Structures are given as structure tokens and as C-alpha cells.
Amino acid sequence: MNTFLRTLREQMGGFGATYRRELGAYFATPMAYVFLAVFLLALGVFTWEAGRFFDTGSADLAPFFVWHPWLYMIFLPALAMRLWADERSAGTDELLLSLPLGMPGLVLGKLLAAWTVAGVGLVLTFPMWVTVNYLGHPDNAAILLTYLVSFLMAGAYLSIGSAVSALTGSQVTAFVISVLVAFAFTAAGWPLVLSTVKAVFGGHVADLVAEFSFLTQFQGAQRGVLELRAVVFFLGFTTFWAILNGLWASRQRLG
Amino acid sequence: MLDIRNLEKSFGAKRAVQGVSFTLEKGTVLGFLGPNGAGKSTTMRMIAGVLEPDSGDALIDGKSIVTDRRAAQAALGYLPEGAPLYEDMTPPEFLDFIAAARRIERAKRKDAVERAIADARITTVAGQRIGSLSKGYRRRVGLAGAILHDPPVLLLDEPTDGLDPNQKRAVRALIARMAPTKAILISTHTLTEVPAMCNRAIVVDRGMIVADETPEGLARKSEDGTLEGAFTRLTDQAEANSA
């Protein structure tokens, strides 16, 4: 047990320092503020204009949550792209790798810092929640649950962005590749994609593809239903990409 | 304090470092010399644990960088080439990050940061973002980061490169103050600085050590009695031999 705790402590070495440094970096530059402003603006425009929030006639946040996967797909890679690519282009990865830190601590510190900024973005959408409560009597427990699963989903999108960022020294390249990967995992649940997959590979394959889609996994939560498999999916997905992230960032040591 | 054993590293077909071995004791300031691309930085990056060697090892204060990386890195202060820093931070914020990453206890952190700021003479710029500092100050912030935890071994890659004469003198004075209690490895290609800073010099060429002497001994090897003459003769000769 002691050996386990010691190994864990060593591997997580630098988690706190990295988390504080990365979170500070987001807010020391206009990065976080610009992200939050544009993210909230886009979410508002989609909810009110494209989602026709007022025309649904029901006091819930369905026209708001339905856009989350699509907006995360674009915005969260933008938040994550700097995490590793910036270190490499500035040469600070050299400094970081020379410190007695554990790779898991570094990966999680960076990922959680970006996740915190995304969480702040979600919290700042509270006027939507205030509005529906003003207009009617929504199921607030269901809304809170959808928010929580949405937050987990944000972590999954960020883990893609962070891992891809470890592959390149260019933030633009990291962003473009991350959006493409994120699009694949989002659109996999799109009826258009699924019907094509079904026609070509058959129903079983289409079901499997749908299982890996963020849209499918987020559906239950959007109805206010807590599905354990969705929670396990998003957490497992994030863990998988965080491991890839660590492996890709460690490759640097090989030269 | 520092024991380098047969370090090797290849990048594809290019053998960047070919069996480099030497030891360094407390009180030694070693000038690590060689032409560009000779393998100086690659060797230093391997010692710092940034790059994994293909074979060989580096023992820092008795700990292996290969099998006990974190313990070895804890005993080492490293200034990478070009002194890369987080530009959005102020020097105290940056040093506080390094102190936290090096697990200096919270109670001792403030003292360590203040001491490093005083030693590196960067008090006057402590309130500014690193991105707005001159090259000389940035180099000194990097140095402060390397000496923050008072390591027994220091590895400085081109610490005076691009500095003006006053800044160079300040860095040299800092190194001289630390020299008696540490083993210091400095890579440089400014040969005129070597006799002023170092009491031992190693010349590498094409990934191999071609000379290991005192700076004076090295200078005596040339016809004109200068380090530059010796440097040219050694590295040209190695080139001629391998041709």
C-alpha cells in the first residue's frame, strides 16, 4: 500500500503546480476571456435564433443543450490547442521535461486547467436557467443533471484537443486535427452518417458506431435521464485520450 | 558529483553523441566546448533527463538519470539553450512555479524565490512580465530558475550567449560565487570566456571528446599559444581524420 501511495505521489508530482500555472496562463492573456465571450455569444445565438427558444412553448433548456456537442466540437479544441503545442514552439517543453515531474501529473494538470475554464463557461450560462425559471416551472434536477453530463462531455472533447496538441508544435495544426477528430466522434451519431453506415456495413456496425458518438451518449442526459453508461463512456473516453496524451508527450524524450 | 558514462545518441543515421564519458567534482567549473553540431547540447539534454540516451548513463549526485530520473533531476539545475521561459509570467511567478514543481515546501518557497532573485540580480524587473524583458534579464531569470533549489550540480547551456559585456560579467560573477560548492558544466563557444570562468575544458567534435585539460594546458597545445588556436587545430584535425 505504501509503495502504491509513493508511486502515485511520484507520478502525480507537479499536478498542482501545472494546474495553477496553466489556469494562470489562460487568464494572464486574453485567451480565456475571448474564449468565454465568444463561446457564450455563440451559445446564445444558437439557442435563441437557431433553436427558437421562445417558440418551443415549453419551459426547459432543450433548445440550449442540443447545441452543446456541436459548439464544444469547435470551441474546446481552440481552448486545448495551446496546452502542449505552445510549450514546444516556445521551447519550454525542454524546461518542463528537466523538472522532476511525473507525466500523469503534467497531463492531468493541463487538462483540468482547460476543463476548469470550460466549466466557468458553463456556469456563466446561468441566465438561461434563470430565464426558464422565470417563464415557467422547469425540472431543475433534470437541468442540473444535463449540465453535469455536459461538463463531462466537455472533458472528453478537451482530452482529444490536449492529446493532439502534444503531437505538433503548431497550434493551428493542433486545432484543425482536433476539430476533425472531434467531428468524427460527434457526427458518428448523426442520422445521415448512421443511415449511410447501415446501408454499407449493416445494422450491427451502425449500432456500434452510434455507441461511440457523443450525440448518442448525450441524448439521455438531454432528456434529464442519468445514464450510467454515458457517464462511464465520457470518463473512459477522457482517460483513454489522457493516456494517449501522456504517451505522445513522452515521445519527446526519444528525440 | 557528476559521473557521465559512455553516453550515446543517434538521430536516424547521424551519430550525434558517441561514447562521451567524464566525471566532475565539487569546485570544478567545466567549459564544454565544440563547434556547432558537435553534440554539446545533445549531451547536456541527456544529462538533464530531457532526452533518453540510446546507451550509457549519467549519475547526478549518485543517482542514475536512466533508472532513477526524478531523483537525479532533483539534484540538478539546468538552463536550456536560449533560456526558454513562460513569457506570460513575472519572474517571481515563474520561480514560484519552479519551486512548486520541485516540491520545495510552501513555508520555504518564498525564501528560496527571494534568494534566487537576489543571487541572479533581477530584483529591479521582478514586477514585469518575462515577455517584456531584455535578453540579458531573461537569461538571468532562467539562471535563477536553475539555482532555485540550490542543486549540487549545475548544467548551463550557453549562459552568456547574446549578452552585452556588462551582463556577461554579471553572469560570470554569479558562476564564480557558486563555484566552490557545486559542480558546474557550462557549454559555450565564446572561447575568450573560458579562462575567466572555467578551471577545466573539454572539447567535443562530432560527438566525441577530443581534449580534456585545464584551459591553460589546452592553449599550450596550439602553435600560437591561444585557446582559439588549440580549438581550431583539434576540431579541424578531427574533421581531417574522419574524412
pLDDT bin (cut points 50, 70, 90) of residue A2 is: confident
H-state helical runs in A166-254: 171-187, 191-201, 203-211, 214-222, 228-250
Distance CA A28, CA B133 (A): 17
Q: What is the predicted pLDDT for the residue at A57?
A: 67
Using the structure block, give the residue that is written with the C-alpha cell 422547469. A138
Torsion of CA A40, A193, A234, A15, to 10 degrees: -70
Average pLDDT of the residues in A173-185: 95
Distance from CA of A119 to the nearest CA of B (A): 23
Contact criterion met (CB < 8 Å) for A10 and B70: yes
Contact criterion met (CB < 8 Å) for B73 and A17: no
Per-residue pLDDT of chain B (243 residues; tens, 9 = 90+): 899 999 999 998 899 999 999 999 999 999 999 888 889 999 999 999 999 999 999 999 999 999 999 999 999 999 999 889 999 999 999 999 999 999 998 889 999 999 999 988 899 999 999 999 988 899 999 999 999 999 999 999 999 887 888 888 888 888 999 999 999 999 987 888 888 889 999 999 999 999 898 988 888 888 888 888 888 888 876 555 554
* Domain limits, chain A: 2-254
- The answer to whether residues A152 and A231 touch, using CB atoms and an 8 Å cutoff, is yes
**Among the ranges given (A114-118, A192-196, A217-221), the one the predictor scored with the smallest mean pLDDT:** A192-196
Average pLDDT of the residues in A78-96: 94
Q: What phi, psi does B209 have (nearest 5°)?
A: -80, 125
* Domain limits, chain B: 2-75+152-242, 84-150
Name B76's bridge partners.
B153
Q: What is the predicted pLDDT for the residue at A212?
A: 85
What's the pTM?
0.90
Contact criterion met (CB < 8 Å) for B145 and A90: no
Q: What is the predicted pLDDT for the residue at A204?
A: 82
Q: Which of B126, B132, B140 is nearest to B170 (CA)?
A: B140
Which strand (E) or helix (H) includes residue A27?
helix A15-28
Distance CA A221, CA B14 (A): 55
Cα A76 off chain centre by: 6
Kindly provide the ipTM of the predicted complex, given to two decimals: 0.90
Select the residue from B50, B96, B109 to test the A interface by mutation, using most A Cβ atoms within 10 A: B50
pLDDT bin (cut points 50, 70, 90) of residue A51 is: low
Q: Does A20 touch chain B (CB under 8 A)?
A: yes
Q: How many residues in total does chain A contain?
A: 255
Q: What is the predicted pLDDT for the residue at B171?
A: 85
Give the residue on B whose Cα is nearest the Cα of A252: B51
Give the end-to-end CA distance of chain A in Å, rounded to a whole number. Answer: 35
- Which chain B residues have a beta carbon less than 8 Å from that of A16? 100
Q: What is the predicted pLDDT for the residue at B147?
A: 94
Contact criterion met (CB < 8 Å) for A99 and B102: yes
Out of 3.30.390.30, 2.40.50.140, 3.20.20.140, 3.40.50.300, select the CATH number for domain B2-75+152-242: 3.40.50.300
- Which chain A residues have a beta carbon less than 8 Å from that of B103? 13, 100
Distance CA B218, CA A165 (A): 47
- The answer to whether residues A182 and A161 touch, using CB atoms and an 8 Å cutoff, is yes
> Sheet holding B76-79: strands in order across?
B76-79, B153-157, B183-187, B29-33, B200-205, B208-213
Distance from CA of A102 to the nearest CA of B (A): 8
- The answer to whether residues A135 and A56 touch, using CB atoms and an 8 Å cutoff, is no
- Which chain A residues have a beta carbon less than 8 Å from that of B49? 97-98, 253
Using the structure block, give the residue that is written with the C-alpha cell 474546446. A76
Distance CA B116, CA B118 (A): 5
Of A29, A94, A100, the CB nearest to B84: A94
Which strand (E) or helix (H) includes residue A85?
helix A82-90
pLDDT bin (cut points 50, 70, 90) of residue A165 is: very high
DSSP string, A89-141: HHTHHHHHHTSS--HHHHHHHHHHHHHHHHHHHHHTTHHHHHHHHHHS---HH
Name B186's bridge partners.
B31, B156
Q: What is the predicted pLDDT for the residue at B237?
A: 61
Contact criterion met (CB < 8 Å) for A98 and B93: no
Contact criterion met (CB < 8 Å) for A255 and B51: yes
Using the structure block, give the residue that is written with the C-alpha cell 535563477. B144
Of A16, A98, A255, the CB nearest to B73: A98
Q: Which of A125, A144, A135, A112 is nearest to A21 (CA)?
A: A112
Distance from CA of A172 to the nearest CA of B (A): 20
Q: Does A95 touch chain B (CB under 8 A)?
A: yes
Q: Which of B152, B178, B144 is nearest to B63 (CA)?
A: B152
Q: What is the predicted pLDDT for the residue at B88?
A: 92
Q: Report strand pairing: B63-64 vs B76-79.
A: unpaired
Q: Does A105 touch chain B (CB under 8 A)?
A: no
Q: What is the predicted pLDDT for the residue at A187?
A: 85
Q: What is the predicted pLDDT for the residue at A38?
A: 93
